[in-house]
Structure 1
Amino acid sequence: MKKIEINPITRLEGHGKIAIFLDDNGNVDDAFFQTVEFRGFEKFLQGMPMEEVPRTVSTVCGVCRGVHFTASMKASDEVFGVTPPPTGRKLRELFFNAHIVEDHTVILYALGFPDFVVGPESNPAERNVVGLINAVGADVGREVLRRRGLALKIFELLGGKPNHPVAAIPGGWSKQLNEEERRQIEEWSKELVGLGELTLKVFEDVVLKNDKYMELVTGDMYRVEVGYMGSVDEQDRSTYYDGTQKVIDSAGKVVGTFNGKEYLDFISERVQPWTYLKFPYQKKLGAWQGIVEGPGTNIYAVGPLARMNIATGMNTPLAQQHFEKFHAAFGVRPVHNILGYHWARAIELLNAAENCLELSRDPDITSKETWNKPTSCTGEGIGIIEASRGTLIHHYLTDNKGIVTDANLIVATTHNNAPINLAVKKAAKHFIKNGNVAEGMLNYVEMAFRPYDLCLACATHTLTNGQTPLQVEIFDNNGKLYKALKNF
C-alpha cells in the first residue's frame, strides 16, 4: 500500500491535507480529507458578556467575519428577549447581503474559476487569480476588483469597519443611514447587480459553452449523492438572513423543517480521531451510518448548491431566471453534481446584489428607529443564518446577567465534512489510475473540495475524549521518516 499526500491543499481558507492510498496496481484504495488545525472558540467564549460576542466571533476568520457576526447577533436578540424594529432588521440584511456579494466574488474568482479559465491541468504557477486575470484581460480583472470593493464599502459603511464589524447591538443596529448614504448605497448596488451579471456571463462563456468542462460539471466523477439543508422564506424561496431551515433526503423528499433550538432534533455530530472536524448527520434518518452516499444516507450538504436544491425559487427576478436555467441544464432534482456549486454561487451573487438594491430603495431604511432596548435576559439564544458557505448555527447559554456559560457553533464546512470526504475519494478513484499521480491529476482531486468553499479556521472546534488528537512525525537528515508518535 502506497500513500500519497496533497499537503497543503491549495486555494482554501485554513490548513488541510488529502491522504490517498494506492493498492499494488497503483489504483486508489481509499482517500481522506483531513483537517490539521484547531481553533477553540467554543471554549474561550465562556465567561464573555453576550453583547461582546458578535464583535469577538467576527475574528474567527478574516473571510467569514460578517457571517459569525450576524449569527451571534441574532442569538443575542434571543438571549435578551428582544426583537429588532423593522429598520434595524433591514439594515442588518443590507449589510449581510453586501457581505455575500463580496465573499462570493472572492471565492469564485480567486479559488474556483482558475481551474476553468486557466485550465485544470495548466501550470500550477499560473493556475491562480493572477493567471485568471491574465486570461480574461486586465480590464475585466480590474472591473471585478473595483465592483467587489463597492460591496466592501457597503459592509464598512454599515458595519463600522472593513474587516471586523462593530455595529451589532442586541435588539437592533447602532448605525443609522441618512439620505445621502442611502443614495450612495443605491448607486453602488446597481453596480453590484452588474457584477453578478458579468460573473454569470464569464461562467457561461468559459464553462457552459465548453463541452469538456461540461463533462466534468455533469459527470459522475464529481457527483456526490447526499441529502441537503438550507433556509427558505414563507414562499419556499431561498433566503439568507432569516427563514425556516428545510431538510431533504438524497431523493429530494422533505425530511422536515425546523427553527431555532429545534435543530437539536435534527442534527447530531460524530467525532473521529483522525481529524479536528466533526461529522454532522441527520438523526431523523437514523443513527450514524458512516461516511456513505446514496439512497438512505443521513449525510447531508449545505451551501449554494444545497440552497438551489431545497428551494423552489429565488426572491429576485434576474436570479430567478438563472435559477430556472440551472435546473433545466441538469434536468433532475436534487442536483448532486458538486461542480454545480460554482454556478449556484454565481447565481447567489446576483441574487444578493439585487437584494441590496431593493433594500437600498426601501423607504424605511433611513428611519431613526433602529433599536429596541432589551429589558430582560432569557439565558439562551440561537442564531441561524445562511452564510456564504452554508447554514451557520450559533447557540449560546448564559447566566441571568448575560454572561456566556456555554457555546456551540456548527459551521458550514463542518456540515459538509462527510460530503467533502466522499467527493475527494470519488475524484481520486476516477482520475488516478495505474499509479498516474501527475500534478494535473492531483489538481482534479483538489477540484473536488473547492466547490464547498472550505473555511477550516471557522469549522474546527472538536476535542476527542477531552484531548487534542496529535501526531508527530520525526525525519532523519536524509528526509526519511524515523518515527511517528500519536496520542490517539
Structure 2
Amino acid sequence: DYSVRNVIGIAQKFPDIGRKVVHCRHLGAKMLEILAVKPIHPVAAVPGGFSKPLKTEEVEALKPMAQELLEFAKFSMDFAKKEIFPKYMEAVEKLGFIRSGFLGTVKKNGKPEGAFELYDGELRLMDAAGSFEDFKYDQYTDYIAEHVEPWSYLKFPYMKKVGKISMDLENPVGVYRANTLARLNVSDYIDTPLAQKELEEFRKTFGRPAQNTLLYHWARLIELLYNAENVARLLEDPEITSKDIRKKVEPRAGRGVGCVEAPRGTLFHDYETDANGILTNVNLIVGTTHNNAPINMSVKKAATDMIHEGKYDEEVLNKVEMAIRAYDPCLSCATHSLDGTLAVKIAIVNSQGETIETLCNF
C-alpha cells in the first residue's frame, strides 16, 4: 500500500526499528560534531587540510558509537535480506531497469589494486559489458563530456570516447551511472570482511556489472556496512590523532581538480584561479548530474511499463517515483541555473501525444 510506504508507516509497523534508526542517526550526527565541530555544514575542513586535530579522549568517545553503528549496519543488512528484498524481487528485477556503464573510485595502492574506495584512488569508467579504463581524477575531461538539452536544467555527462549520448531505452549510447551501485560494480573487491562477504553474495545473484535500478538500495546497505567497519578500523589507527593536519596555502594562479565519492555519486570540483587566488573558471559535476540521463531513462521505462491506455492512479505514480528515489537525487545540487529558480512542469500524454494532464509549480 503506497499510502503507508513512508517514514510514518515504517514507524507504525516497526516501532522498535524506527526508534533504532532515529537513535543511530543521532549517533552519526554526534560523531560528526566531535570530528568537525558542526553536524550540519561541518566547518573543520579548510584550505590545506583540517582546522583541528582529533584528541585521544575524543577517539575514545567515538569508539563505542562506531561499534553501535556497526551492529546497526549488520542488523539492517540482515533484516533487508530476510524481510524486504525477497518480497519485492519482481520490482527489483523489472522496475526502471536500464543498461548503462558505471563510474566510481578504486584504490590503486592496495594489494591487489582495484579495491572499493571513497576518497583516495583513481577513477574507473566501466561500460555496460564490464570493460573499463582507470584514470586520474584531473584527467576527467578526457573521459567525460557534458551534453546540454533545452528541456533540462541539468547537464548530461556521457562517455567521451563513445562520442555521443543517446537515451534510447533499447540502444543507449554513452550513458553511465554513479552512486552506490556504480561504486560496487567498478570495484574488484572490498577490503573489509563483512562488506566483502556481502559483495560476493550480491555478485553471485546479480552478476557484474549489476544493472537493476532498485539494486541501488541493496548496494547502499553493503556500503553502509563497509563504512561502519572502516570507521571502527580508522579509530584504532594511532595516526588518527596526528597533529600534522594542515599545510600552508598561498594564493596563486593555477588549476585544481578535486574528486571524492559523495553519497549520491562521484563529485568533481574543478577550479582555475588568477595570481590573487580569485576564481576565474569553475566546473562542478555532482553525483546527481552523472545520473541525469539514467534517471530520465528509468522513469520512462517505469512509466511505459505501468501506464497503459492513459490509465493511471496514485499507486502507479508512486511506483514510477520509486525509480527516481533509487538514485537519491538532489536536483538543486545538480542544477546549472543563473537565477536559482527551478520551474517544474510535468505533462502526462497518451500514445497519440495528446496531453491528458499538466502539473506545474509556476
Query: In structure 2, what is the equivalent of residue 151 of structure 1?
Result: 28
Deviations 1:349-397 (A, max 9, x none): 1111111111111011112222222356352111101110110100011
**Stretches of structure 1 lacking an aligned partner (at least 5 in a row):** 1-121, 474-480
Counterpart residue identity of residue 263, structure 1: Y
Counterpart residue identity of residue 309, structure 1: N
Q: Is the 8 A contact 1:269 1:278 kept in 2?
A: yes
Q: Distance in 2 between matches of 1:351 and 1:471?
A: 37
Q: Is the 8 A contact 1:226 1:294 kept in 2?
A: no
Q: Secondary structure at the match of 1:313?
A: coil
Query: In structure 1, what is the equivalent of residue 128 of structure 2?
Result: 250
Deviation at 1:186, TM superposition (A): 1.3
Deviation at 1:154, TM superposition (A): 1.5
Deviation at 1:398, TM superposition (A): 0.9
Query: In structure 2, what is the equivalent of residue 320 of structure 1?
Result: 196
Q: Secondary structure at the match of 2:323?
A: coil
> Are positions 1:430 and 2:305 aligned together?
yes
Q: 1:182 aligns with which of 59, 71, 84?
A: 59
Counterpart residue identity of residue 239, structure 1: E
Deviation at 1:208, TM superposition (A): 2.9
Deviation at 1:123, TM superposition (A): 4.6
Q: Distance in 2 between matches of 1:184 and 1:272?
A: 50
How has the CA–CA distance of structure 1 residues 364 and 378 changed in structure 2, closer, same or farther, with 3 Å as cutoff? Answer: farther
> Are positions 1:353 and 2:228 aligned together?
yes
Query: In structure 1, what is the equivalent of residue 351 of structure 2?
Result: none
Counterpart residue identity of residue 228, structure 1: F
Deviation at 1:401, TM superposition (A): 2.1
Q: Distance in 1 between matches of 2:138 and 2:199?
A: 31
How has the CA–CA distance of structure 1 residues 233 and 402 changed in structure 2, closer, same or farther, with 3 Å as cutoff? Answer: same
Deviation at 1:206, TM superposition (A): 2.4
Q: Distance in 2 between matches of 1:262 and 1:148?
A: 37
How has the CA–CA distance of structure 1 residues 299 and 191 changed in structure 2, closer, same or farther, with 3 Å as cutoff? Answer: same
Q: Distance in 2 between matches of 1:472 and 1:425?
A: 16
Query: In structure 2, what is the equivalent of residue 229 of structure 1?
Result: 103
* Aligned-pair Cα RMSD in Å: 2.5
Percent identity, aligned pairs only, is 44
Query: In structure 1, what is the equivalent of residue 352 of structure 2?
Result: none
> Are positions 1:445 and 2:307 aligned together?
no
**Stretches of structure 2 lacking an aligned partner (at least 5 in a row):** 347-356
Deviations 1:295-323 (A, max 9, x none): 67211100111111111111211111111
> Are positions 1:333 and 2:208 aligned together?
yes
How has the CA–CA distance of structure 1 residues 328 and 370 changed in structure 2, closer, same or farther, with 3 Å as cutoff? Answer: same
Counterpart residue identity of residue 179, structure 2: G
Counterpart residue identity of residue 290, structure 2: H
Q: 1:208 aligns with which of 73, 85, 96?
A: 85
Relative contact order (alpha carbons < 8 A, sep ≥ 6): 1 or 2 greater? Answer: 1
| TM-score, with length taken from structure 2 | 0.89
Q: Secondary structure at the match of 1:275?
A: coil
| TM-score, with length taken from structure 1 | 0.67
Q: Distance in 2 between matches of 1:312 and 1:424?
A: 30
How has the CA–CA distance of structure 1 residues 143 and 190 changed in structure 2, closer, same or farther, with 3 Å as cutoff? Answer: same
Deviation at 1:462, TM superposition (A): 4.6
Query: In structure 1, what is the equivalent of residue 6 of structure 2?
Result: 128
Q: Distance in 1 between matches of 2:183 and 2:345?
A: 40
Counterpart residue identity of residue 92, structure 2: V
| Count of matched residue pairs | 347
How has the CA–CA distance of structure 1 residues 413 and 337 changed in structure 2, closer, same or farther, with 3 Å as cutoff? Answer: same
Q: Is the 8 A contact 1:231 1:245 kept in 2?
A: yes
Counterpart residue identity of residue 246, structure 1: R
Counterpart residue identity of residue 441, structure 1: V
Query: In structure 1, what is the equivalent of residue 287 of structure 2?
Result: 412
How has the CA–CA distance of structure 1 residues 293 and 245 changed in structure 2, closer, same or farther, with 3 Å as cutoff? Answer: farther
Q: Distance in 1 between matches of 2:303 and 2:250?
A: 56
Q: Distance in 2 between matches of 1:470 and 1:216?
A: 31
